[in-house]
Structure 1
Amino acid sequence: MAELEQVTQQNAEELKAKEQERIVGQIAKELQISLKQIRTTVGLLDEGNTIPFIARYRKEMTGELDENQLRDIEERTTYLRNLEERKREVIRIIDEQGKLTGELKSSIEQAVKLQEVEDLYRPYRQKRKTRASVAKEKGLEPLAEWIREQPKQGDVKLEAAKYVDEGKGVESADDAIAGAMDILAESIADEATIRSWVRRYTMDHGMLTSEAKDAEQETVYENYYKYSELAKKMPPHRILAINRGERENILKVGLDVQSEPVHNYMMRNIVKGPSVVRDVLNAVIEDSYKRLIAPSIEREIRAELTEKGENQAISIFSGNLRSLLLQPPVKGRRVLGVDPAYRTGCKLAVVDDTSKLLEVAVTYPTPPNNKRKEAAEIFRNLITKYEIQLIVIGNGTASRETEQFVAEVIADLNQPDLAYLIVNEAGASVYSASKLAQQEFPELDVAERSAVSIARRVQDPLAELVKIEPKAIGVGQYQHDVSQKHLDESLKAVVESAVNHVGVDVNTASPSLLSYVAGVNATTAKNIVKYRDENGKFSNRKQLQSVPRLGAKTYEQCIGFMRISESDNPLDKTPIHPESYKVVDRLFKELSVKLDKLGSQELSVLLENQEVESLATKLDVGVPTLRDILESLQRPGRDPREELPLPIFRTDVLKIEDLASGMELQGTVRNVIDFGAFVDIGIKSDGLVHISQLSHGFVKHPMDVVSVGDTVTVWVLNVDLKKGRVGLTMRNPHQEE
């Protein structure tokens, strides 16, 4: 018995190994990455390693695959493993029905898409009550089989008369024929090869159409009131726009396709030649396509198009979010944060250069109160008292009126080092009403917390924005129209990537920031902060091993991304993983320098002149790891965000009326979407640079040219004063095409 169990277990392991190789082979083929790299990556993921850790500290093993490639491998592995599990389930169910043939089993096993498996399973799936199942209950299957055989002799009505049975509800030969036709129509609709062909044909030739339910109604969907486009050519943003119009009951949407080629294909594949049932079969095929196949395929293709639109929308949101999170911090400045409003007044928050809150206040410079004189006095007092160097205004309600007022205050003060900045305040209200904000500032009201968040998100955008649910940071397109689960997963991965790219100071980081470090969850993050509060600042990385529930695996994954700027070991402020500290020891011995030279110009020059390949051989370390070590040693404590240009600081306000065609301006990219980019040029509404105006050359997607937060030079193309819209170009009008 034990021997039999051992053999069974061995067979199961062999099958699992074969399945794994099949998956690895499939991914390698899809992603054009070597089998060895895929196999190694899958192994590392299965061992519980995080993607940031693998990307940074396992480069030799993966052949230096980047985070995006690793995430693609992870995603495809999950999909294909689920596919294999579904295959096993389908094979089991069909086998239990006694209908599993060797050919069918082989077809299921060789399927590479879930849709293929479901098509093959369709005839065997337990169905709800259908016209065909009712006909089967009436005993009409044999008649359906007779018609399927396509006899060359006989009479359909005479054959059907044999099945007339009033007790079963078959009152005439015509009733029997109709029931048999229903059985055949469903059987044809369930054939995998026919469904596959029709699906492909419909995708290639189907026209997605939309029309207004009420053509007189004025809506934002007027472009789609009478619209038609080849489905497979539709850009993602248009798919989602039409979907939303349909969901809001404004548009009626359909998928039009010529049925004649489909009918001809089905006839060729089903009708064997002349027979006494040819006309019946012709009617069956027409019914099968129109009633069963076409509506089902339309739903599948609409779902596929929606998925395409969602994936693109999520990709854009993710790219924009990453750019926003990695904006350069404005360090060393005392900041006055302003949350603008009309009736309830502008809330003010003063924070010092370490982001510590010093004072809050409220002023009423905007309508309906218009207490500009009193407000100016409060602003001047705070600016003077705290030697404010930067005023940060949220871009929400009343922001432009507040900006006008702030510009006047700055002009009156005549302080050359004082400027203002408009920031995207998306998510500030979400943060200010959160439990985290209540814990951080229990004595403040919601709007005052929002003003603090606005001030801090300039000093360290990443540290502040991680406190907010990623999808509440409005830098996307159609984010409310996509799968929220998929969106959440993708945005969480972006935040995780950004946090680990920058690294965190373990002695100042909030639980929100720490929870995005590789391997660290929310509980561990809170435990780190609690340990820090109870025991004082961490003096070295090793101390983190004493934090409750921070085990060996978590330590391995997270520690390279944790920084301790005042550690008793200088390497603790670098991205070098403690597992490589011995390599650094050997390196310093090889170069005859001491660790106290870390950060010196002398050491940087020495390291820069090393021949990496030969040095790696001497130190018995991989070239990619040594390259990273040398870079980290040359610039210890480096923040990669500091290499980016700072945002535009302004001292005066611009009105839309001031603009003229051809005017050159500096602006900040606020959002990037499929058809262009919105740029803040200092007026009430952001100007649009259409994709055709981003460059003199061809642009496949705006993200190839600009990112959120970029400072760009633009020229005014057109101004619509009535609608408050400005068209911009990044194509220098003075440059020859």
Structure 2
Amino acid sequence: MEKIINILKSEFGVDTKIITNIIEMLDEGNTVPFIARYRKERTGGMSDEVLRDFYERLQYLKNLEDRKEAVIKSIDEQDKLTEEIKKSVMMCKTLTEVEDVYRPFKQKKRTRAIAAMEKGLKPLAEAILSGEFSGDIKTFAEGFINIDEQSNPKLQVDSSEAALKGAEDIISEMISDEAVYRKWIRDLLRRDGLIETSKATKGEDEKGIYEMYYSYSEKVKSIPSHRVLAINRGEKEKVLSVKIVSETEKIISYLQNKLLKGNTQTDFYIDNSIKDSLKRLIYPSVEREIRAELTEKAEDSAIDVFKKNLKPLLMQPPIKGKRVLGYDPGFRTGCKIAILDETGKVVAIDTLYATMPNNDKEKAKSKLCKLCKDHNVDIISLGNGTACRESEELISQMISENGLRDLYYVIVSEAGASVYSASKLATKEYPDIDVSIRGAISIARRLMDPMAELVKIDPKSLGVGQYQHDVTQKKLEESLTGVVEDSVNSVGVDLNIATPSLLSYISGVNSTIANNIVKYREENGKFTSRKELKKVKRLGDKAFEQCAGFLRVRESKDPLDNTAVHPESYKGAKVMFDKLQYSVEDLKNGKLGNIEEQVENYGMNKLAEECGLGELTLKDIINELKKPGRDPREELPKPIFKTGIVEMEHLKEGMTLQGTVRNVADFGAFIDIGVHVDGLVHISQLANRFVKHPSDIVKVGDVVTVKITEIDHKRKRIGLTMKDA
């Protein structure tokens, strides 16, 4: 553990005490959101994102040490462990290096070398490899001929040539098993290797998706992650052939320098083995390892992009106190309508046949107008799927023709809405509403409270990120779950209205406890305090400690229950009120406006000590009490509300527009500028400086100003720039 602590200390740039504290807290079963929010004194104020990275790195290092122990034990059980081998294993910094050292001691499938050793040819191989042989090697090899008809045919050696060939097979495997050689070759491929792709003969690529890779090469060390995943997919679909090429002669020369002894009798056979080992054993194996490394790095990059996109998507500001009409566009089965009141309750559902094949636009506009007026609709939330363009045109005309100046519409992503509609959760929430209407409800709720609605859907189905189906799904799921947990806990949830799906992401609350909370609420009425949580079945002291600070109880007599202040700090917070001559009523009435000035006059150090709180915790409490129960999402930019429509035909190069970032990839950002086709700001067009990654400049949900640089009507593509826009 001391070794792990030292590695983490150097990588994360924090002292040993903090590293030890974090490991202890994780081992005690504390969650990342809880540690990040309520144990800042012990972490030095480390953010939830850094803590997630810390946790993942800690797990890798623990697995590495466990693997080292297992390898040493296995070699020892074979009576082959030496101090040198043990030292080699302990010095390894990666799992790949450990496997390199372990390779000669692993149980192998039956190989040519094993077959040759069974024939008794190992002494011949050792004699050749030593380079000290002085006689005639062919004469010496004759001593290994075995054509005894009584023996197993598989063990017979019928000539000196066969004996020497078997010895070469043994030497080939010995060369391949040498960790030092493999590491040198692997490092060469990483540094100077080229990944080359060509058109395969089997697969079909009708749309020409992989056309740029039909004859393509790029250095292994610099190929971007998104290209690695694209190449992998093309190979999987049998459209592409992929290989890594390097200076084979350079590798052969390196091995010759290491192995040839200047003995004319034996060097010929060693040289044969070098070339055979490289072609048949080392190169294919190392090539697979390099490909696996590239894929792992690409997957990590894709997952990182997904995580960076998911968080702002979840953290989009809610539209509170508005009546929303959810509009799920479609053709054959019509456009589904669901109207929700200010609390999110469904007050009306309907279907409009505004598009083909019915195409009764006038009737649909009249019906939609009546629905909006009868139910005092403030905003229409329009899904961006099939028939969105036709539906937006209808909505825009309806608003204009009826002079509904106070009615707006917003286009929202409907990714995953159909997945939710058919889920068990949707059936439980709306048992009496048809599955086709549930999508419209989800679309409306995505505008009213994006987080509460989106947590019901598998994050992979939310339409952000890149190549999410090409990465290890378990790793993706774990990473995205962490993002959802951190987002939900950073906002907090209302204990009396939160759904089980939202509650299950709260620190310390699993799905069973989440359902038990809702069940308790249904049987006993609303929670009147945080303390009442302890009455919930299976919610013990540890779970209460982890979750209490993230759950709000607006109905509580204690106003601290509706803040992010943890119950363990209530005593200290109340001491602070007394010292600064405030009352709990002042908190209720929002009369703590100058609290920071009061604290400064009193002295932060002195106040923290007298309250029995750490300074970082006290600062958090003060920030929270300035705006009790505030929603951090409300400080973010609201979506762009629209009343009219813009067609692609109306666009011209040089036009400046406002748009919303819909997705961020390695190569740029996709911007919704209101024309049904998201424009692309290439990474080179994001800023007047070098940009390492688009996520350094923009995130999903950002409202940005862009200028049109290119319009391709045929391929429905729009090129944008943010430079000087």
TM-score under structure 1 normalisation? 0.95
In structure 2, distance between residues paired with 1:660 and 1:443 = 49
Q: Is the 8 A contact 2:127 2:133 kept in 1?
A: no
Q: 1:169 aligns with which of 151, 156, 177?
A: 156
Q: Is the 8 A contact 2:595 2:626 kept in 1?
A: no
2:485 corresponds to 1:523: no
| Residue of structure 1 in register with 2:65 after alignment | 84
CA deviations on 1:635-691 (whole Å, 9 max, x unpaired) are 101000000111001111110000011111111111011111111111121111111
| Residue of structure 2 in register with 1:536 after alignment | 525
2:174 corresponds to 1:187: yes
| Residue of structure 2 in register with 1:730 after alignment | 722
CA deviations on 1:307-366 (whole Å, 9 max, x unpaired) are 111011111111111010000001111000011001110000000011111111001111
- In structure 2, what residue type is equivalent to 1:354? T
Q: What's the offset of the Cα at 1:725? A: 1.1
Which stretches in structure 2 are left out of the alignment for 5+ residues?
A: 149-154
- In structure 1, what residue type is equivalent to 2:165? A
User: Cα–Cα, structure 1 residues 360 and 525, in superposed 2: closer, same or farther, change >3 Å?
Assistant: same
Q: Is the 8 A contact 2:663 2:700 kept in 1?
A: yes
Q: 2:278 aligns with which of 281, 285, 289?
A: 289
SS at match of 2:660: strand
Q: Is the 8 A contact 2:573 2:611 kept in 1?
A: no
CA deviations on 1:559-608 (whole Å, 9 max, x unpaired) are 00000112111000000000000111110110111110015564121334
Q: What's the offset of the Cα at 1:620? A: 3.2
| Residue of structure 2 in register with 1:569 after alignment | 558
| Residue of structure 1 in register with 2:3 after alignment | 22
Q: Is the 8 A contact 2:261 2:267 kept in 1?
A: no
Q: Is the 8 A contact 1:163 1:170 kept in 2?
A: yes
Q: Is the 8 A contact 1:153 1:275 kept in 2?
A: no
Q: Is the 8 A contact 1:599 1:633 kept in 2?
A: no
2:195 corresponds to 1:203: no
| Residue of structure 2 in register with 1:267 after alignment | 256
Q: Is the 8 A contact 1:327 1:644 kept in 2?
A: yes
Q: 1:556 aligns with which of 545, 554, 563?
A: 545
- In structure 2, what residue type is equivalent to 1:711? V
Q: Is the 8 A contact 1:152 1:275 kept in 2?
A: no
In structure 1, distance between residues paired with 2:447 and 2:638 = 10
2:101 corresponds to 1:120: yes
Two-structure CA RMSD over aligned residues (Å): 1.3
- In structure 1, what residue type is equivalent to 2:25? L
Q: What's the offset of the Cα at 1:75? A: 1.1
- In structure 2, what residue type is equivalent to 1:688? L
In structure 1, distance between residues paired with 2:439 and 2:376 = 22
CA deviations on 1:142-184 (whole Å, 9 max, x unpaired) are 1111112112521121111110112432111010000011011
User: Cα–Cα, structure 1 residues 636 and 608, in superposed 2: closer, same or farther, change >3 Å?
Assistant: farther
In structure 1, distance between residues paired with 2:531 and 2:205 = 70
- 5 Å-filtered alignment, 1:629-708, equals 629-708=621-700
In structure 1, distance between residues paired with 2:90 and 2:688 = 51
SS at match of 2:30: coil
Q: Is the 8 A contact 2:340 2:346 kept in 1?
A: yes
- 5 Å-filtered alignment, 1:585-596, equals 585-596=574-585
Q: What's the offset of the Cα at 1:613? A: 3.2
Q: What's the offset of the Cα at 1:377? A: 2.0
- 5 Å-filtered alignment, 1:136-155, equals 136-155=117-136
In structure 2, distance between residues paired with 1:578 and 1:628 = 14
Q: What's the offset of the Cα at 1:618? A: 3.4
TM-score under structure 2 normalisation? 0.97
SS at match of 1:697: coil
In structure 1, distance between residues paired with 2:538 and 2:591 = 42
| Residue of structure 1 in register with 2:78 after alignment | 97
In structure 1, distance between residues paired with 2:423 and 2:139 = 77
In structure 1, distance between residues paired with 2:438 and 2:716 = 31
Q: Is the 8 A contact 1:329 1:460 kept in 2?
A: yes
| Residue of structure 1 in register with 2:423 after alignment | 434
| Residue of structure 2 in register with 1:415 after alignment | 404
SS at match of 1:490: helix
Q: Is the 8 A contact 1:212 1:225 kept in 2?
A: yes
Q: Is the 8 A contact 2:520 2:536 kept in 1?
A: yes
Q: What's the offset of the Cα at 1:714? A: 1.0
- In structure 2, what residue type is equivalent to 1:206? G
In structure 2, distance between residues paired with 1:503 and 1:466 = 13
| Residue of structure 2 in register with 1:709 after alignment | 701
2:224 corresponds to 1:232: no
2:38 corresponds to 1:57: yes
CA deviations on 1:105-161 (whole Å, 9 max, x unpaired) are 122122221111111110010001100011011111111111121125211211111
| Residue of structure 1 in register with 2:468 after alignment | 479
- In structure 1, what residue type is equivalent to 2:182? R
Worse-matched range after superposition: 715-724 or 47-56: 715-724
Q: Is the 8 A contact 1:421 1:648 kept in 2?
A: yes
Q: What's the offset of the Cα at 1:218? A: 5.0
In structure 2, distance between residues paired with 1:281 and 1:34 = 52
| Residue of structure 2 in register with 1:70 after alignment | 51
Q: Is the 8 A contact 1:327 1:641 kept in 2?
A: yes
Q: 1:44 aligns with which of 6, 25, 33?
A: 25
- 5 Å-filtered alignment, 1:241-640, equals 241-598=230-587, 600=589, 602-611=591-600, 612-640=604-632
2:140 corresponds to 1:159: yes
In structure 2, distance between residues paired with 1:699 and 1:97 = 54
Q: 2:199 aligns with which of 195, 204, 212?
A: 212
SS at match of 1:129: coil
Worse-matched range after superposition: 281-290 or 571-580: 281-290
In structure 1, distance between residues paired with 2:620 and 2:325 = 39
User: Cα–Cα, structure 1 residues 556 and 292, in superposed 2: closer, same or farther, change >3 Å?
Assistant: same
| Residue of structure 2 in register with 1:223 after alignment | 212
CA deviations on 1:525-576 (whole Å, 9 max, x unpaired) are 0000000000000000000000000011000000000001121110000000
Q: Is the 8 A contact 1:322 1:494 kept in 2?
A: yes
Q: What's the offset of the Cα at 1:263? A: 1.1
Q: Is the 8 A contact 1:42 1:73 kept in 2?
A: no
In structure 2, distance between residues paired with 1:217 and 1:484 = 28
Q: Is the 8 A contact 2:328 2:337 kept in 1?
A: yes
In structure 2, distance between residues paired with 1:568 and 1:700 = 51
SS at match of 2:594: helix
In structure 1, distance between residues paired with 2:243 and 2:207 = 21
In structure 2, distance between residues paired with 1:65 and 1:680 = 35
Q: Is the 8 A contact 2:384 2:414 kept in 1?
A: yes
In structure 2, distance between residues paired with 1:609 and 1:187 = 76
Which stretches in structure 1 are left out of the alignment for 5+ residues?
A: 1-19
Q: What's the offset of the Cα at 1:216? A: 9.2
SS at match of 2:81: coil
In structure 1, distance between residues paired with 2:536 and 2:640 = 42
